[in-house]
Structure 1
Amino acid sequence: MTKLSRRRFLQSSAALAAGSVALPYAALADDDAILVGGLHDLSGGLDTSGIPMNQILNLAIDEINAGGGLLGRPLKPVIYDPQSNMSLYSQYATQLALKDKVAVVHGGITSASRETIRPIFHRFKTLYFYNTLYEGGVCDRNEVTLGTTPAQTVEKLIPYVMNLWGKKVYTVAADYNYGHITAAWFKRYVEENGGEVIETEFFPLDVTQFGSTIAKIQSAAPDIVLSALVGSGHFGFYRQWAAAGMKSRIPMASTTFGAGGSEPIIMTPEEGDGIITSFGYYPTIDTPANIAWKEKIVAAYPDNTPVLSELAEVTWEGMMIWADAVKEAGTLDREPILEVIESGKTYDMPAGKVSIDPKTHHAIRDVYIADLKDHEFIIKEKYSQVQPADTQMVCNLEEDPNANVHHEISLN
């Protein structure tokens, strides 16, 4: 098992961030190359998530090319850095679709970025893979969603931690659609399991100080704090929580902590140990497929090894599923590729078995619960082939293949 030290992570991240200033760029390749778009935050508030996703995207392209490419042609990455800026997301998405004319795009991290670029790719029929966990509800045949949704993770996490710790819950979440909708799912599942959410607070992504909130939580004395905080600004909450002496008093679970991979490495065990999460991938999955994949990554990036997380691993899945569909379809035309993706194939991935639900284009996948200890997540539970049941409530692409909407799923 490969373990990345905090010092090495910080050095790697600094080097990668410094190396991204020349972007956007298009790597040199043959004139007949198949263009693959990458649109991840390589600088800005979410670069610690975007940089590993971009590394894995490029590694997947290199592996496909080493195997002969697709349709007898090499793949060529076209990479842009939107810098966590929605205007740049819109600009680069339009450029990828109309000027670069890429065959596929892998990109977006926040739901705000996805909803900025998804309608652009839908309009111009540029196939789009969203490789990030999110709140559920996208119904768009042009998008394939590999990340987990609340029905896959929150539904498992909440009864697990309530069983351990109690029924009175305090929620802290990011102040945008992901945070608000996930907080609503928290409330739904807490109440279904006989508990109560006594308070919910939302924080803009640039908020970095949480002293008043920590004091409020201390006064409210919940049994559990549930976090759906997002990004480098919100990272301060966990450190301030530990510094205030609260970590040993009130336990915490999260749907986002470690999602991008960096927090468990940056934080000391005194700050991070004991936080419980649920994701579709952990680097500690002990299978031959995952061990071999990690070894491949270290060999490719010996000096700047990416921190692995669900976001990085499902980026690999997205590339490999798209490449498999191109091979089977024998064409880059969108419709035959989508028909292969919708055929119900099961793929063996580092995270486990993955298939695409044809009604929603969301992944049916294995889900895990894990407890952080000494910078590593120790897996406690595995749930096999969990359906994206939340999105299935509102989306049926077989009945409406022209759908182009993000449903805010009603929890009433």
Structure 2
Amino acid sequence: MKITRRKLLKGGAAAGAVAATGFPHIWVTDASLAYAAGGKIKVGVLFSLTGTTGIIEESLNKATIMAIEEINDQGGINGMQIEAVVEDPASDPATFAQKARKLVLSDKCVSVFGSYTSASRKAVLPVFEKRKNLYWYPTLYEGRECSKNVIYTGAVPNQQQDEFVPWLVKNFGKRWYLIGSNYIYPKEENNYCKKLLKELGAEVVNEEYVPLGHSEFSSVVNKFRSEKPDVIFSTVVGDSVVALHRQYRAAGLDPAKMPMASLTTSENEVAAMGGDAAAGHFTSAPYFMVWDSPENQKFVESYQKRWGADKVTHFVSEPCYFQVKMFQQAVSKLAPSDINPAEIREAVKGVELTAPQGKVRLDAATLHTYLWPKIGQCKSDGQFEIIKQSPGWLEPVPYKAYENQVCTEQGLKET
């Protein structure tokens, strides 16, 4: 009998399901049916609702749930409803891993949407790679990953910095202070930033990292005052962003002379700190709430209708929303018996759709997303003015900082 790729995948999935249950005497003839049983497709939603990054991740949960609700209200996927299993990992990487195992093994979710920090993504990665499941990660991140079990819909360094850093050097100067939270993402983003600064003949006058959840920035602000950098490049995340901006403003520093230029400060953090504390500072991102498009107008109106007129959308909640629509497109190509993580991964390669930020595409080789870089300056009303946008969508290059490595459909290659 001829063994097709699809039959091989089904057989492997069935064997994996038997091993996971711990009952070898039970033979599952088609384990993929478990993913679409009873007219429902079960997915996990794994964002922190409490803890230090709850300030941002709670909004990621909301955008994901809204997208699922929209799909279900429109009849689901080929008549099947999406059932969301929501867990709160409480901003703790170890809890992320524990909850991920539950969603994959106990709840039998066919995919999980989750994580804000790279620390939490790294914590769950072994679960998804060992169990051959799919994790949908919406956050801008540092690159340097080529997993076949993660769908990456956030920006990588070249998509945030390639236009931002030269623009800042041209408009503000060549002396830079790098301040970030103390984990992998800020350090890798700063490595790429330093590479660009060197090419531009600029210098780093100081580089400093603070613990996650850090709230006392008086010594850092004093260094800003004494060093007098032209640009403060910030990769501080979570509640710490609010504290940093408020203390900067309280010290009387001037963003017109010494702006903070961030990869991580969105409308969500601005809403928490108040527009006056953020006014005059810059952010680079593929999406801002003020972006003028029919798709974004619908997204913002739907979000505020669902969650409250005072709520804001931002550059991580937006990919949370469109990655669920990518999932919908991929699953809609499959028969119910073929709905499993491996088939979804193949079906989502090359998927295109018009997201609130513009038309996006999932790159088949890297499983990263083509996005639209933008530079925004925050105003006192808490919104951004878009200063510049890329003339076209930008290819994701997750190993741009490491020119001897490239992510391919076959995996990571040395060049």
The normalised TM-score by structure 2 is 0.85
Q: Secondary structure at the match of 1:117?
A: helix
Alpha-carbon deviations, 1:233-277, whole Å to 9, x = none?
A: 34211111111111354222111111xx32222333432111111
- Contact 2:39/2:79, CA 8 A, preserved across alignment: no
The answer on 1:277 being equivalent to 2:283 is yes
Q: 1:302 to 1:265 in 2, by over 3 A?
A: closer
Q: Which residue of 2 aligns with 1:81?
A: 88
The answer on 1:336 being equivalent to 2:322 is no
CA distance in 2, matches of 1:139, 1:162: 31
Q: Secondary structure at the match of 2:245?
A: helix
Q: Which residue of 2 aligns with 1:4?
A: none
Unaligned runs of 5+ in 2: 1-36
CA drift at 1:292? 1.5
Q: Which residue of 1 aligns with 2:258?
A: 250
CA distance in 2, matches of 1:119, 1:266: 34
Asked which structure has the greater RCO (Cα within 8 Å, sep 6+), the reply is 1
Q: Which residue of 1 aligns with 2:53?
A: 46
CA distance in 1, matches of 2:80, 2:215: 47
The answer on 1:327 being equivalent to 2:335 is no
Q: Which residue of 2 aligns with 1:396?
A: 407
CA distance in 1, matches of 2:61, 2:276: 31
Aligned with residue 222 of structure 2, among 215, 218, 221: 215
Whichever residue aligns with residue 52 of structure 2, its letter is G
Q: Which residue of 1 aligns with 2:25?
A: none
CA distance in 2, matches of 1:217, 1:250: 9
CA distance in 2, matches of 1:113, 1:182: 17
Mapping 1:259-274, distance limit 5 Å: 261-274=267-280
Q: Secondary structure at the match of 2:42?
A: strand
CA distance in 1, matches of 2:220, 2:185: 20
Q: Secondary structure at the match of 1:385?
A: coil
CA distance in 2, matches of 1:282, 1:80: 28
Q: Which residue of 2 aligns with 1:378?
A: 385
Q: Which residue of 2 aligns with 1:310?
A: 315
Structure 1 moving runs of 4+ over 6 Å = none
Alpha-carbon deviations, 1:328-348, whole Å to 9, x = none?
A: 233312233222222x23211
Q: Secondary structure at the match of 1:199?
A: strand
Q: Secondary structure at the match of 2:157?
A: coil
- Contact 1:360/1:391, CA 8 A, preserved across alignment: no
Unaligned runs of 5+ in 1: 1-29
Q: 1:122 to 1:71 in 2, by over 3 A?
A: farther
CA distance in 1, matches of 2:358, 2:101: 34
Q: Which residue of 2 aligns with 1:189?
A: 196
- Contact 2:72/2:81, CA 8 A, preserved across alignment: yes
Aligned with residue 357 of structure 1, among 330, 354, 363: 363
- Contact 1:254/1:277, CA 8 A, preserved across alignment: yes
Whichever residue aligns with residue 274 of structure 1, its letter is G
Q: Secondary structure at the match of 2:195?
A: helix
Q: CA RMSD in A?
A: 2.0
Whichever residue aligns with residue 374 of structure 2, its letter is Y
Q: Which residue of 2 aligns with 1:294?
A: 300
Whichever residue aligns with residue 86 of structure 1, its letter is P
Q: Secondary structure at the match of 1:206?
A: coil
Q: Which residue of 2 aligns with 1:20?
A: none
CA distance in 1, matches of 2:206, 2:258: 15
- Contact 1:137/1:395, CA 8 A, preserved across alignment: no
CA drift at 1:184? 1.1
- Contact 2:154/2:369, CA 8 A, preserved across alignment: yes
Alpha-carbon deviations, 1:91-114, whole Å to 9, x = none?
A: 100000100000110001100000
Whichever residue aligns with residue 410 of structure 2, its letter is E
- Contact 2:241/2:269, CA 8 A, preserved across alignment: no
Whichever residue aligns with residue 368 of structure 1, its letter is K
- Contact 1:247/1:271, CA 8 A, preserved across alignment: no
CA distance in 2, matches of 1:51, 1:207: 20
CA distance in 2, matches of 1:324, 1:399: 23
CA distance in 2, matches of 1:215, 1:300: 43
Q: Which residue of 2 aligns with 1:16?
A: none
Whichever residue aligns with residue 116 of structure 1, its letter is A
CA distance in 2, matches of 1:231, 1:354: 27
Q: Which residue of 2 aligns with 1:15?
A: none
Aligned with residue 170 of structure 1, among 158, 169, 177: 177
CA distance in 2, matches of 1:75, 1:263: 30
Q: Secondary structure at the match of 2:399?
A: helix
Alpha-carbon deviations, 1:56-92, whole Å to 9, x = none?
A: 1111111111121123221111000000012211110
The normalised TM-score by structure 1 is 0.86
Q: Secondary structure at the match of 1:198?
A: strand
Whichever residue aligns with residue 283 of structure 1, its letter is M
Whichever residue aligns with residue 287 of structure 2, its letter is Y
Q: Which residue of 1 aligns with 2:246?
A: 239
Whichever residue aligns with residue 72 of structure 2, its letter is N
Whichever residue aligns with residue 203 of structure 1, its letter is V
- Contact 1:104/1:126, CA 8 A, preserved across alignment: yes
Which has more radius of gyration?
2
